[in-house]
Amino acid sequence: MRIAIDCDDAAVNLKKVILEHLKSKGVEVTDLDYAGTSPGAHYPEIGYNLAVRVKSGDFDRGILMCGTGLGMAMIANKVETVFAGVCHDVYSAERLVKSNNANVLTMGERVVGPEVAKKVVDAWLVSDFAGGGSTEKVEQMRALEKRSFHPGSGE
């Protein structure tokens, strides 16, 4: 699994912790470091960049961090085919994938400590979409997403 990671200026320390954690586990992770190549960039540009890279297939999943994780989730969800959610606990991280088939995890450095964040990321990474009763709901979300991104397409 290819993972992209990025953050804004409010989560630099958490990104370092998660990046090192993933590398120590042998996970293929790429730090997009959008702010490093675009000084003054704010979370909307950073989150959008990662989401577009996930949509394009450059990466299977992405992890975005800011102060709360909320803004990053909001902007990532503006990219078609990207489902992002904020998680600061293990159960939510598992359900993000198992029930919702999400491909982007967001977290906030001001909300979650580094040790819990590692556990959240680990739970999210090993989770797979469970299907079952969630399949119809995820398909409905995809259909509504298509209607939103392609109005008048008959969907």
Residues carrying an active site annotation:
66
Query: CA 41 → CA 15, 29, 57, 78, 114, distances in Å?
Result: 16, 22, 23, 18, 24
Phi, psi of 84 (to 5 degrees): -120, 150
What is d(CA 18, CA 22) in angstroms, rounded to the nearest whole number? 6
Q: Closest by alpha carbon to 48, among 73, 67, 11, 13? A: 73
Q: Closest by alpha carbon to 6, among 25, 37, 26? A: 37
**H or E element: which one contains 62?**
strand 61-66
Strands 104-108 and 84-86: parallel
